[in-house]
Structure 1
Amino acid sequence: MLQNVKMADRLFALARMLPLLVVCFALPLGAAAEAIETPAREAFVFDVNTGAVLLEKDADVLMAPASMSKLMTVTMVFERLQDGSLKLDDTLPVSEKAWKKGGSKMFVKVDTRVSIHDLLRGIIVQSGNDACIVVAEGLGGSEEAFAEAMTAHAREIGLEKSTFKNATGWPDPEHRMTARELGLLAKYIITKFPEDYEIFGEKDFTYSDIKQGNRNPLLYKETDADGLKTGHTQESGYGLVGSAKRDGRRLVVVVNGLSSTQERSRESERLMEWGFREFDNYALFKAGDVVDHARVWLGNEETVPVTVEKDLLVTLSRQARKSMVVKVVYDEPVPAPILKGTPIAQLIVSGPDMDTVTVPLVATQDITRPGPLKRLTSAVEYLVFGPSAN
Structure 2
Amino acid sequence: MLHFPDRKKMGRKKNIRRLSVITVLIFIIFANTNGTNLMVYAEEQTETQAADQTEVLEVESPSCILVEASTGQVLFEKNCDEAMAPASVTKVMTLLLAFEAIGAGQMTLDDIVTVSEHAASMGGSQCFFEAGEEQTVEDMIKCIIIASGNDAAVAMAEKVAGSEEAFVKKMNERAAELGMTNASFKNACGLDADGHKMSARDISIMSRELITKYPAIFDYSGIWMDSIIHKTRRGESQFDLVNTNKFLNMYTGATGLKTGFTNTAKYCMSATAERDGIQLIAVIMGADTKDIRNKDACRLLDYGYSMCQKYTDLNILQEKEISIDNGTESCVTIKTDSQFTGILLAGEHAEDVKKKLEMRDPLTAPVDSGEELGKMSYYIGERCIGSVPIYAAEKVDSMSMKYAFVKVLKLQFTY
From 160, 172, 175, the counterpart of 2:196: 175
Q: For residues 376 and 298 of structure 1, what CA distance do their matches in structure 2 show? A: 17
Given that residues 113 and 159 in structure 2 are in contact (C-alpha distance below 8 angstroms), is that contact kept between their aligned partners in structure 1? no
Secondary structure (helix, strand or coil) at the match of 1:266 reads helix
Given that residues 43 and 255 in structure 1 are in contact (C-alpha distance below 8 angstroms), is that contact kept between their aligned partners in structure 2? yes
Specify the alignment match of 1:272 in structure 2.
301
Structure 1 residue 25, shift from structure 2 partner:
2.9
Structure 1 residue 166, shift from structure 2 partner:
0.8
Alpha-carbon spacing, 1:255–1:74, altered in 2? closer, same or farther (3 Å): same
Secondary structure (helix, strand or coil) at the match of 1:256 reads strand
Q: Which segment drifts farther, 196-205 or 111-120?
A: 111-120
Q: For residues 36 and 376 of structure 1, what CA distance do their matches in structure 2 show? A: 73
Structure 1 residue 193, shift from structure 2 partner:
5.3
Does residue 320 in structure 1 map to residue 349 in structure 2?
Answer: yes
Which 5+ residue runs of structure 1 have no aligned equivalent? Answer: 379-390
Given that residues 88 and 258 in structure 2 are in contact (C-alpha distance below 8 angstroms), is that contact kept between their aligned partners in structure 1? yes
Q: Give the aligned residue type for 2:126.
A: M
Given that residues 66 and 280 in structure 2 are in contact (C-alpha distance below 8 angstroms), is that contact kept between their aligned partners in structure 1? no
Given that residues 147 and 165 in structure 1 are in contact (C-alpha distance below 8 angstroms), is that contact kept between their aligned partners in structure 2? yes
Q: Which segment drifts farther, 35-44 or 205-214?
A: 205-214
Structure 1 residue 85, shift from structure 2 partner:
6.4
Given that residues 68 and 230 in structure 1 are in contact (C-alpha distance below 8 angstroms), is that contact kept between their aligned partners in structure 2? yes
Given that residues 150 and 164 in structure 1 are in contact (C-alpha distance below 8 angstroms), is that contact kept between their aligned partners in structure 2? yes
Which 5+ residue runs of structure 2 have no aligned equivalent? Answer: 1-17, 229-236
Q: Give the aligned residue type for 2:75.
A: L
From 73, 85, 90, the counterpart of 1:53: 73
Does residue 7 in structure 1 map to residue 24 in structure 2?
Answer: yes
Q: For residues 290 and 234 of structure 1, what CA distance do their matches in structure 2 show? A: 59
Q: For residues 119 and 303 of structure 1, what CA distance do their matches in structure 2 show? A: 55
Measured on the aligned residues, the alpha-carbon RMSD in Å equals 4.6
Q: Which segment drifts farther, 5-14 or 178-187?
A: 5-14
Q: Which segment drifts farther, 348-357 or 259-268?
A: 348-357
Q: For residues 258 and 86 of structure 1, what CA distance do their matches in structure 2 show? A: 35
Q: Give the aligned residue type for 1:43.
A: I
Given that residues 286 and 310 in structure 1 are in contact (C-alpha distance below 8 angstroms), is that contact kept between their aligned partners in structure 2? no
Given that residues 92 and 138 in structure 1 are in contact (C-alpha distance below 8 angstroms), is that contact kept between their aligned partners in structure 2? no
**TM-score of the superposition, structure 1-length normalised?**
0.71
Specify the alignment match of 1:92 in structure 2.
115
**TM-score of the superposition, structure 2-length normalised?**
0.68
Given that residues 284 and 312 in structure 1 are in contact (C-alpha distance below 8 angstroms), is that contact kept between their aligned partners in structure 2? yes
- Superposed CA deviations along residues 345-367 of structure 1, whole A, max 9, x for unmatched, are 54231115954434443333345
Specify the alignment match of 2:4 in structure 1.
none
Q: Give the aligned residue type for 1:254.
A: V
Secondary structure (helix, strand or coil) at the match of 1:251 reads strand
From 229, 249, 255, the counterpart of 2:284: 255
Given that residues 313 and 340 in structure 2 are in contact (C-alpha distance below 8 angstroms), is that contact kept between their aligned partners in structure 1? yes
Alpha-carbon spacing, 1:56–1:305, altered in 2? closer, same or farther (3 Å): farther
Given that residues 342 and 363 in structure 1 are in contact (C-alpha distance below 8 angstroms), is that contact kept between their aligned partners in structure 2? yes
Alpha-carbon spacing, 1:36–1:113, altered in 2? closer, same or farther (3 Å): farther
Secondary structure (helix, strand or coil) at the match of 2:115 reads strand
Structure 1 residue 299, shift from structure 2 partner:
6.5
From 15, 23, 29, the counterpart of 2:41: 23
Given that residues 33 and 320 in structure 1 are in contact (C-alpha distance below 8 angstroms), is that contact kept between their aligned partners in structure 2? no
From 46, 49, 71, the counterpart of 2:92: 71
Does residue 105 in structure 1 map to residue 122 in structure 2?
Answer: no
- Superposed CA deviations along residues 81-100 of structure 1, whole A, max 9, x for unmatched, are 674467476542455x8547
Structure 1 residue 267, shift from structure 2 partner:
2.1
Structure 1 residue 212, shift from structure 2 partner:
7.4
Alpha-carbon spacing, 1:250–1:10, altered in 2? closer, same or farther (3 Å): same
Alpha-carbon spacing, 1:118–1:192, altered in 2? closer, same or farther (3 Å): same
Structure 1 residue 61, shift from structure 2 partner:
5.8
Q: Give the aligned residue type for 1:203.
A: W
Specify the alignment match of 2:334 in structure 1.
306
Does residue 220 in structure 1 map to residue 242 in structure 2?
Answer: no
Specify the alignment match of 1:200 in structure 2.
221
- Superposed CA deviations along residues 174-216 of structure 1, whole A, max 9, x for unmatched, are 3344444433433454466555643322335679999775332
Q: For residues 210 and 80 of structure 2, what CA distance do their matches in structure 1 show? A: 19
Specify the alignment match of 1:240 in structure 2.
269
Given that residues 30 and 325 in structure 2 are in contact (C-alpha distance below 8 angstroms), is that contact kept between their aligned partners in structure 1? no
Given that residues 295 and 333 in structure 1 are in contact (C-alpha distance below 8 angstroms), is that contact kept between their aligned partners in structure 2? no
